[in-house]
Amino acid sequence: MTTQKLTADRAGERADALLARLVPDLTRSAAQKLLERGAVTLEGRPVRKNDKPVPGQVLEVALPDPEPIDVSPQNIPLNVVYEMIKSLAERYGTYIVGSEVVGLTPAKALIDCAEHYLKLENFDCHNQVMEYHLVGME
């Protein structure tokens, strides 16, 4: 936990708004949670979210250490991702006219896309895709 001292500099500003403005990356709702937990004090007394510190008053804020998050990729087929983005774009009145693949992409992902959009019947990628025969792909 780190402690930070903040000096009020605007008359009539609520404590939650002051925190959100002066602490980088702190949202107003996160500021309200800190205030509710009693993590913000003024002269040793807990500050409430609707308190309005006077310019020059110093608030002491106990900021919790960041919590690690577990981020792991999901195996979502390319055509599903494309359709989700296309739908979102259309919701905002724009349309996708093209797309590109950046970086390396597994052949299976591209083959699955082709099968979906081309509506291939009786398609067997292991027997019908040339690269499978050339490099012994699995």
CATH of the domain at 40: 3.10.290.10
Query: What is the average per-residue pLDDT within 71-77?
Result: 87
**Banded pLDDT at 74 (limits 50, 70, 90):** confident
pLDDT tens-digit series, residues 118-128:
888 888 888 88
Cα Rg of the chain, angstroms: 27
Residue 8 in domain = yes
The reply to whether 19 falls in a domain is yes
How far is residue 39 from each of residues 5, 36, 66, 106, 127, measured CA to CA in Å? 12, 8, 15, 49, 65
Least confident window among 3-17, 35-49, 102-116: 102-116
- Asked whether residue 137 carries a pLDDT value surpassing 70, the answer given is no
What is the span of the domain harbouring residue 44? 2-63
Rounded to two decimals, the pTM is 0.52
Domain membership of residue 94 (yes or no) is: yes
Integer angstrom CA distances of residue 111 from 29, 100, 134: 45, 15, 16
9 or 121: which leads in pLDDT: 9
% pLDDT > 70, the chain: 98
> Does 34 map to a domain?
yes
- pLDDT higher than 90, residue 110: no
Q: According to the model, what pLDDT value does residue 138 have?
A: 57
